[in-house]
């Protein structure tokens, strides 16, 4: 995130170099209560017990239930070369931050309208008059009644411009991913408008739109903007769950499953389950309940769904379906991303740099694989609509439309045009002696030879039955013969 130096953990005192940053972790002074005097720079807190900050996610960082104060100190060896900022990450806690008795700002809401905040990197600018050389006091007033809340996950001091630059960089990355998802969504919407019966395109469109909005909501600047009015994590988790519900509707068409097959039924059940999770996330009270829904409903559903996608992709690959390779690898990347995030959520793996969410990028890889697959199938369908499946030549309607255009073009350019009608002699005898399968083989072979004999500018088609037609542009009688 930004360069970190080793903290000098001695009764919450840290040396902050002018051009660097440091995590103010370790032991802080803690005391329950809500007296305003606790923010004072001269307040004697030596009798307060020490509590750790910045412990592993999911474990209580401090014995906070109700109101309480945390006090720590940092030391400046000299006047900093640039403006410093104080960055706080906390979950399930409303808090106010003071430096040397000056209130820098707050996040969340205190009683009587208490609302805990989610884990957002929240940066406060430290006023220049309070950046003199020497010791300075950081006091944090906090309030929480959320069971299992991790509290303060990290407190850090760094050059303010450095913190803001890091935020802008994360904004840019997530916005770029959101726009890419939106582009893929419009791509699928185009296919659906051309073939409305192929509803998998509509479901993938909804899946992409949901994840695009989730990326926007997860941008640091968006989270800070939403914080006063709504819990961004509720909105984010609801969007991801709704995206999972849309994906459940797309599975049957994407993997070409029979409507009543086990895979199709399982996909419908998972889609409904994710839809219920999306509603629960928006309706359950309290930060703790949202975390419970994520941990015990959303996470297991995500793992089951990702592994099911891999299983379906393996099955498709073994059947030798076209484009199965892209779908397989996209499903594998999505499954690995889902397992990674769930392992972090359950404390099996350690996080780094405050970032633990990679499922969105796994979903991006999966969507790209689906886009490649559905686009190729769309092209195949369009080709099938233009050509006769038995001979490989253009269908009669296509050639007749081309003939109208070629006549007009020949008239404008004053060029000749020829039309050749052909049929297969004694074709009824072929059907009578070899059967219709033998007749189909003859039609296919004749079509192949006509295609090889024609030019790229010619329109060769099956007129009907054993009859064929060729429209030869810029060709006179001799050339046609």
- 74 pLDDT more than 70: yes
pLDDT value at residue 311: 92
User: Strand pairing partners for 122?
Assistant: 88
What is the 8-class DSSP label of residue 203? H
Report which of 468, 455, 457 is spatially closest to residue 421, judged by C-alpha positions: 468
pLDDT in tens, 204-231: 999 999 999 999 998 988 988 887 788 8
Cβ pair 124, 85 in contact under 8 A: yes
Give pLDDT, residue 350. 60
β-strand pairing of 66-76 with 13-15: parallel
Please determine, for residue 10, whether its predicted confidence score (pLDDT) is greater than 80: no
- 254-297 pLDDT tens trace: 888 888 888 899 999 999 999 999 999 999 987 778 888 998 99
- Where does the pLDDT of residue 14 fall: very low under 50, low under 70, confident under 90, or very high at 90 and above? very low
Distance CA 195, CA 465 (A): 28
Proportion of the chain in helix, strand, coil states, percent, rounded to 5:
50, 20, 30
Q: What is the mean pLDDT of residues 383-390?
A: 72
Total Cβ atoms within 10 A of residue 46: 7
Name the phi and psi angles at 284, rounded to 5: -65, 145
Residue 7 binned pLDDT confidence (cut-offs 50, 70, 90): very low
Is residue 463 a contact partner of residue 443, using CB atoms and an 8 Å limit?
A: no
Least confident of 168-172, 184-188, 225-229, 384-388: 384-388
**Most confidently modeled of 8-22, 56-70, 168-182, 313-327?**
168-182
Share of the chain above pLDDT 70, in %: 88
Looking only at the bridges linking them, the beta strands covering 417-423 and 467-473 are antiparallel
Does the structure show a pLDDT above 80 at 468?
Answer: yes
pLDDT digits (tens, 9 = 90+) for 83-107: 888 888 888 888 999 999 999 998 8
Bond into 112 cis (ω within 30):
yes
At 470, which helix (H) or strand (E)? strand 467-473
Higher pLDDT, 29 or 350: 29
Between residues 130 and 301, which one has the greater pLDDT? 301
Query: For residue 59, what pLDDT is reported?
Result: 42
The 10s digit of each residue's pLDDT in 328-346 is: 999 999 999 888 888 877 8
Q: What is the predicted pLDDT for the residue at 11?
A: 31
Res. 21 pLDDT band, cuts 50 70 90: low
pLDDT at 9: 28
Tokens of 150: 């991790």
For residues 451 and 448, give the distance between their C-alpha atoms in angstroms, rounded to a whole number: 5
- In this structure, of 47-61, 183-197, 276-290, the range with the lowest mean pLDDT score is 47-61
* Residue 386, pLDDT score: 73
pLDDT greater than 60 at residue 57:
no
pLDDT band at 6 (very low <50, low <70, confident <90, very high): very low
pLDDT score recorded for residue 71:
93
Sign for the CA dihedral angle at 280, 341, 87, 53 comes to positive
- 15 has a pLDDT exceeding 70: no
Is residue 146 within 8 Å of 117, Cβ to Cβ?
Answer: no
CB 272 within 8 A of CB 251: no
End-to-end Cα separation, the chain, in angstroms: 76
What's the CA gap between 201 and 302, in Å, rounded? Answer: 21
Q: Mean pLDDT, to the nearest integer, of 433-451?
A: 89
Q: What pLDDT, on the 0 to 100 scale, is given for residue 457?
A: 81
What pairs with residue 69 in β-bridges? 31, 141
User: pLDDT at position 235, please?
Assistant: 93
| Mean pLDDT for the stretch of residues 440-455 | 89
- Give me 171's structure tokens: 């904004």
Structure tokens at 326: 């892209």
Q: Mean of the pLDDT values across residues 51-74?
A: 70
Task: Provide the 8-state DSSP code for 259.
Answer: T
Statement: residue 160 has pLDDT above 70: yes
What is the average pLDDT value for the chain, to the nearest integer?
83
Q: Kindly tell me if the per-residue pLDDT of 201 is higher than 60.
A: yes
CA distance 90 to 111: 18
Rounded mean pLDDT of 382-393? 74
Spatial CA neighbour of 422 closest among 464, 475, 477: 464
Instruction: Please give the residue that has the higher pLDDT: either 349 or 239.
Output: 239
3-class state of residue 108 by DSSP:
coil
Q: What pLDDT is stored for residue 275 in this prediction? A: 96
Say what the pLDDT of residue 4 is.
27
**Comparison of pLDDT for 354 and 26, the residue scoring more:** 26
Angle at 387 (CA atoms; ends 382, 392), nearest 5 degrees? 130
Mean pLDDT along residues 123-133: 81
């Amino acid at each position: 995130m930004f360069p970190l130096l080793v903290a000098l953990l001695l009764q919450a005192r840290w040396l902050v170099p002018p051009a660097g940053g440091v995590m103010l972790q370790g032991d802080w002074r803690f005391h329950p209560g809500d007296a305003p005097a606790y923010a004072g720079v001269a307040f004697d807190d030596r009798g307060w017990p020490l509590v750790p900050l910045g412990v592993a996610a999911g474990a209580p960082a401090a014995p906070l239930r109700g109101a309480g104060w945390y006090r720590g100190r940092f030391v400046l060896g000299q006047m900093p070369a640039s403006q410093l900022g104080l960055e706080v990450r906390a979950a399930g806690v409303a808090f106010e931050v003071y430096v040397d008795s000056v209130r820098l700002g707050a996040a969340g809401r205190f009683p009587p309208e208490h609302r805990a905040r989610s884990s957002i990197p929240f940066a406060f600018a430290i006023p220049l008059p309070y950046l003199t050389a020497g010791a300075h006091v950081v006091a944090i007033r906090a309030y929480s009644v959320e069971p299992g809340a991790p509290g303060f996950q990290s407190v850090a001091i760094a050059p303010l411009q450095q913190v803001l630059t890091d935020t802008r960089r994360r904004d840019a990355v997530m916005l770029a991913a959101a726009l890419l998802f939106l582009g893929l969504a419009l791509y699928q919407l185009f296919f659906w408008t051309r073939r409305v019966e192929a509803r998998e395109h509509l479901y993938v469109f909804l899946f992409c739109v949901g994840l695009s909005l989730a990326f926007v909501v997860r941008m640091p600047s968006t989270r800070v903007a939403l914080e006063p009015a709504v819990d961004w994590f509720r909105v984010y988790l609801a969007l991801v769950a709704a995206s999972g519900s849309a994906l459940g509707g797309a599975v049957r068409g994407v993997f070409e499953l029979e409507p009543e097959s086990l895979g199709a039924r399982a996909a419908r059940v998972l889609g409904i389950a994710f839809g219920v999770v999306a509603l629960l996330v928006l309706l359950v009270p309290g930060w703790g309940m949202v975390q419970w829904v994520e941990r015990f409903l959303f996470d297991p559903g995500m793992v089951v769904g990702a592994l099911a996608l891999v299983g379906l992709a393996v099955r498709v690959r073994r059947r030798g379906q076209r484009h199965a390779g892209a779908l397989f690898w996209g499903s594998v990347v999505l499954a690995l991303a889902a397992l990674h995030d769930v392992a972090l959520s359950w404390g099996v793996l350690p996080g780094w740099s405050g970032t633990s969410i990679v499922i969105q990028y796994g979903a991006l890889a999966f969507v790209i694989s689906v886009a490649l697959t559905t686009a190729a199938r769309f092209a195949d369908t369009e080709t099938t609509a233009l050509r006769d499946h038995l001979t490989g030549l253009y269908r009669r309607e296509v050639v007749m439309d081309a003939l109208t255009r070629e006549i007009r073009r020949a008239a404008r350019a004053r060029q000749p045009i020829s039309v050749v009608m052909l049929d297969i002699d004694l074709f009824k005898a072929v059907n009578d002696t070899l059967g219709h399968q033998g007749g189909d083989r003859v039609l296919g072979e004749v079509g192949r030879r006509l295609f090889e004999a024609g030019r790229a500018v010619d329109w060769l088609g099956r007129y009907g039955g054993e009859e064929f037609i060729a429209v030869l542009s810029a060709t006179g009688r001799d050339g046609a013969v």
